[in-house]
Each structure stands twice: as structure tokens, then as C-alpha cells.
Copies of this chain bind each other. A is one copy, B any other.
């Protein structure tokens, strides 16, 4: 029944957005072509006019996630000079990203990604690796600027940084938005950053 025709670029965008919504609710494995089509007012087979298949949709979503994460890193670089401030802002952005678009959690933790195809798994590994690399770079710059203690590996710090968010985000997600992620993460950042910053002996924070 008569969906009005749209140019393929338009449909691709619509479908990608719908995919994000669906994955937020049902997870990566729960991305059904049928539901996807319906939610943009098409018939399942119509999706194949715009994508080669389910995998191609997934790819686009993964690209989106990567873009968002990396854009955050770039953004905080322009917003602050102090490496620790940059990291703090990145933390907030990361939390906001996850809260606003739960699909991101699902993609990274997905089954699909986790076990299934070696290709997918490698894609996500690379994504996580790159993001961690960018975060580690921020820490390293902090070390060079004398703001961050030098007796810690930047990559370890980057992992800890992610660790400030991940369990809270997971629990938040499981509990259906009950947990105040932003607040908890902020508290965790305070403790973490304090222990990571070089102490200007006997001075205030």
C-alpha cells in the first residue's frame, strides 16, 4: 500500500535512524528488517532497494557510532586547553551520548558483535581500540603538560576512563533509566581525576 516514493539517500537516512531506535530497544540482534521497514512506512522488501541486506544496515550504524565518539574527542579539543578539562568534558559527552542514544551500548555489547562473525567482532574491536587510543592520547598530552602523573600508562588510564562510565551505564540500562548515571559518573570522575592529577603539593585541588 502506497508509500510515497523518496530518493534513496533520503530513505537511507530514515532507515539508519530507525535502525538506531530499534537497536536501542531490542539490541543489535533485535534489528529486524520487518520492523525496520514498518517503522519508516515501507514493506520489508523495499529495504533492499536501499541496502544490500541486514549487514549493510548494521555497518552504517557502526559508522555512526564511531563518528559520534570521535567527534566528541575532536570537540573537546577545541573546547578546552587543559588536558584534564578536556577529559572531563569528554566524559560528560560520552555519558550524554549513551543516555540519549542507547543503541550505542547495544552495539558495543551486542551478541552479533560479540560472537558471531569475525568481521563484526573485528570492526567493534577496532572501534574500541581507536577510541581508547584517542583517549590515551589526551592522557599522554596531560603527562607532557605536567598535569597528569607520569607513573601510569596512558592506555591503562584510558581503560579506567571508560570504566567510569561502563558499569554505571549498564546498570542504568538494565534498571530502566532509574540510576542517575550523570551524577554517579561525576562523583567517580572527582575521585579518579584527583588521584590522576599531579598534586601541586599542599595546594588546593
Question: A48 at interface (Cβ–Cβ under 8 A)?
Answer: no
> For the complex formed by this chain, how many copies does it contain in all?
2
The answer, among B155, B170, B191, for a CB contact under 8 Å with A152, is B191
Q: Once bound together, how far apart are the Cα atoms of A59 and B154, in whole Å?
A: 40
**Contact flags A167-205 to B (C-beta < 8 A → 1, else 0):** 110110111000000001001100110111000000000
- A163-B160, A191-B195, A195-B194 are known contacts. Are A132 and B171 too (CB-CB below 8 A)? yes
* Residue with the greatest number of chain B CB neighbours at <10 A, chosen from A157, A174, A184: A174
* CB-CB under 8 A for A30 and B111, given A124-B174, A168-B159: yes
Give 1 or 0 for each of A119-146: 1 = CB within 8 Å of chain B CB.
Answer: 0010011001100100000000000000
A residues lining the B interface (CB < 8 Å): 25-30, 106, 108-112, 114-116, 121, 124-125, 128-129, 132, 152-153, 155-157, 159-160, 162-168, 170-171, 173-175, 184, 187-188, 191-192, 194-196
A sample of 8 inter-chain contacts (CB < 8 A) reads A27-B111, A28-B111, A29-B29, A106-B115, A124-B174, A132-B171, A156-B187, A163-B188
